Chain A
Amino acid sequence: METQTRSGRPDERRVPTIIVAEFDTARDVLHAAEKVRDAGYQRWDTHTPFPVHGMDRAMGLDDSRLGWIVICCAVTGLAGAVVMMHWMNGIDYPLIVGDKPGGAPGALPSMVPIIFELTVLLSAFGAVFGMLGLNRLPQHHHPVFGSDRIRAATDDKFFISIEADDPKFDVDKTRALLEKAHASYVEVVEEDAS
């Protein structure tokens, strides 16, 4: 196995930020992910050119919490629309449109488009911003981009990256684990200590 560190000015102290392991097949990366999961790592990820079936289980990921965020937003939008329409058309400035007094239970159908729109709008906000939040996006920089080979993750290679701030991270042990999991190449990405 070949190991490489990024060349920098030799007189500066450099610290590892992330270890990137390259795999040749989806099967290899899946089994390697199971080993990393079983070793108890927390801050790590896989990078593949296409969705690998069973990867959620192999990485030990639970169901996404995004659904709960979206439903909270949806119910907020629904309730907000009902309250808003009732307040505006029934209490604050009562209107009779088409012989249907606002605010009465019989005027409920007139509220439905607003209820629908506000529910959908807040759900969409919840889905988009919730997804960004759960993925900790946007980020200016991620140490994984210190690796040049990671670009092949959009082409024909499969990667596992383990971040240095993982509590179980240890350069030698982590590298050994990945090499034992049949990584074809392991790269320790380093950055200047600051």
Chain B
Amino acid sequence: MSTPSKQASAHDYRIPAKSPWAGSWRIAAVIGALGLGGAAYGYTQDADRFAFSYLFALWLPLSIALGALFFVMVLHVTKASWGVTVRRVAEMFMRPMPMFAVLVIPLVLLMPHLFPWLGAKHPAGPVADTSAEHAGHRGPAAASEEPLAEARGAQDKEPAAFRDMPYAAPKPLEHAEAREEQQILAHKAIYLNKRFFLARLIGYLLIWAWLAQRYFRWSTEQDKTRALENTSAAQSFAPGGLILFGLTLTFFSFDWFLSINPTWYSTIFGVQLFSQAALAFTAILILVTLGLRKSGILGDAVNVEHFHDLGKLLFGWIAFWSYITFAQFFLTWYSNIPDEVAFFHARWHDNGGTWKSLSLALVALHFFVPFWFLMSRNVKRRLPLLGLGAVCMLVMHVLEVYWIILPVYGPLAFNFVDVACAVGLVGVYMAAVLRGMEDYALVPVGDPRLDRALNFENA
């Protein structure tokens, strides 16, 4: 009211030819190609390791693309006007969804290296539990007992009856466990078999690509036609789209992240991956929008009020992620059933304890520090500080995905293939995103709610 209504037509929100953003996709593509080259070399060195690194690397861009798809659909389902000015950037991030059908091919070829139910033998995996690390001194039963003693900090306070509990000889137990795991896998074969698995994968990729393409077309068509029907179509489709999204993401996470450790169960696992995706995408949306705004491409369309809201969203996702992740840990920790604690053992006491510091770092830097840091309104409205928070969350996202996948492979040991795969896949994905940004206005100029979004203020 105090300021004259900002007009959408004053600015075309396109990347000018002289802007550093124009042509930046080539840099990303070159970096991505170099990374993929390094990854290919890594494959020739150690195919097992490559498979795990590639799975880790694939989820980085895929989680961001899925987070973008979710964000766009949520904006439509809530009919939110504040987010209209940042929606196009989100649409750019979801648009390259079809390329994952190509990027996933190496993993499909390497499935026997990843999945125990296809015969993979992980160095520290559940089936190969008799490996050098455990051999001799510690059977599975003993292994589940030891971290407890450590958790309580003082072994001598243990009740005497427990201390002298006679354990059966480790060897027969290991065999019994291996036999039981084989039985579990046989029991799951109806779901975890190659044909059904690939059929599901094709289903997920088709649904995601279809959703992304639909929403992208509805939005970009509207730039020229200003048709209100596009908005109402996008809105009425969003609830069904979100249900499809939730189901596909959950089963995708069961297929690709849970089944590399097929004797472990967690029904909340899909939600955890979803929270990662939403959180990581919000962080990257903040950073890219800050960058575009700094170059003057977005004009005044995205101002501190919108960043304040994005900051609130980022903070909310941090709290959500922490809640989900702790819920998963807490129930496992409390019941302390060997089948379930195996996941956290691999990330705490097993694998030579190498993952312990990363586990603690996740608690500190994925939750504790950013939670208190981003709590204040003043931090969220001070853009460099908000950007700092977003960078922290992106870095921790990469580390968390690493922490979820690589402990199944073995102890924490840095390998250039991890970086090569990550740089390669993220580079290729970002090249597609940046290339797409050059073809469209970066604000949905035909959206009927744009005017309200431009004049939005946090009351």
Q: Is A154 an interface residue (CB 8 A)?
A: no
Find out whether the CB atom of B1 lies under 8 angstroms from the CB atom of A104: no
Q: What are the residues of chain A within 8 A of B457 when measuring CB–CB?
A: 53-54
Q: Give min CB distance, A86 to chain B, whole Å.
A: 14
- Cα A101 to Cα B3 in complex, Å, equals 63
B385 within 8 Å of A by Cβ?
A: no
Report whether over half of chain A's contact residues are helix, strand or loop; otherwise say mixed.
helix
**Are A104 and B151 closer than 8 Å at their CB atoms?**
yes
Query: What is the size category of the interface that chain A forms with chain B?
Result: 20 to 34
If the complex has contacts A98-B335, A112-B326, are A52 and B152 also in contact, measured as CB distance less than 8 A? no
**Whole-angstrom CA separation of A173 from B27 in the bound complex:** 68
A98 and B330 CA atoms in complex are apart in Å by 13
Asked if B2 is at the interface of the complex by the 8 Å CB criterion, the answer is yes
Q: Is the CB of A104 within 8 A of B2?
A: no
Of A27, A101, A107, the residue contacting B1 (CB under 8 A) is: A27
Cα distance, A54 to B377, chains bound together (Å): 17
Interface residue A8 (Cβ < 8 Å from any Cβ of B): no
How far is B457's CA from A71's CA once the two chains are assembled, in angstroms? 24
Q: Is B152 in contact with A107, judged by CB distance below 8 angstroms?
A: yes
Contacts of B162 in A (CB 8 A): 99
**For the complex, what is the distance from the CA of A107 to the CA of B333, rounded to whole Å?**
10
* B150 pairs with A99, CB closer than 8 A: no
Task: Give the CA-CA distance A26 to B152 in the complex, in Å.
Answer: 63
In this assembly, does A76 line the interface, its C-beta being within 8 Å of a C-beta of chain B? no
B330 touches A53 (CB 8 A): no
Alpha-carbon gap, A159 to B457, bound state (A): 21
A60 within 8 A of B: no
Interface size band for B? 20 to 34
Residues 380-399 of chain B, each 1 if its beta carbon lies under 8 Å from chain A, else 0: 00000000000000000000
Q: Are B148 and A99 in contact, with the CB atoms below 8 A?
A: yes
Q: CA of A104 to CA of B376 in the docked complex: distance in angstroms?
A: 33
CA distance A54 to B1 in the complex (A): 8
Q: Which of B1, B153, B375, B378 contacts A26 (CB 8 A)?
A: B1
A62 vs chain B, min Cβ distance (A): 12
- Residue pair B335, A52 in contact (C-beta under 8 Å): no
Contact status B2-A109, CB under 8 Å: no
Could you tell me the distance between the alpha carbons of A71 and B371 in the complex, rounded to whole angstroms?
Answer: 13
| Residues from chain B with Cβ under 8 Å of A109 in the complex | 326, 329-330, 333-334
A53 to B159, CA, bound (A): 66
A104 pairs with B455, CB closer than 8 A: no
B334, A98: Cβ atoms closer than 8 Å = yes
The 8 A CB mask of A71-96 against B (1 = contact, 0 = none) is 10000000000000000000000001
B1 contact set on A, CB distance < 8 A = 26-27, 30, 52-54
In Å, the complex CA distance between A58 and B333 comes to: 54
Contact B152 A100 (CB under 8 A): yes
- A51: which of B2, B152, B459 is its contact (CB, 8 Å)? B459
Partner of B151, one of A53, A96, A106: A106
Q: Does A67 contact B (CB under 8 A)?
A: yes
- Once bound together, how far apart are the Cα atoms of A53 and B333, in whole Å? 49
Closest to A57 in B: B2
Report if A5 contacts B (CB, 8 A). no
Interface string of B153-175 (1 = CB under 8 A from A): 11001010010000000000000
- Please indicate the chain B residues that have their CB under 8 angstroms from the CB of A110 in the complex: 334
Q: Residue on A with the closest CB to B2?
A: A54
Interface string of A91-125 (1 = CB under 8 A from B): 00000101111001111011011000000000000
Which partner residue on chain A sits nearest B3 by CB separation?
A54
Could you tell me the distance between the alpha carbons of A99 and B3 in the complex, rounded to whole angstroms? 65
A155 near B: Cβ within 8 Å? no
Query: Can you show 11 pairs from A to B with CB atoms below 8 A apart?
Result: A27-B2, A30-B2, A51-B459, A54-B3, A96-B159, A104-B153, A104-B154, A106-B153, A109-B333, A112-B326, A113-B330
Known: A98-B335, A105-B153; 19 extra A-B contacts, CB below 8 A, are A27-B1, A27-B2, A51-B459, A53-B455, A54-B2, A63-B377, A71-B375, A98-B334, A100-B152, A101-B157, A104-B152, A104-B153, A106-B148, A106-B150, A106-B151, A106-B153, A109-B329, A110-B334, A112-B330
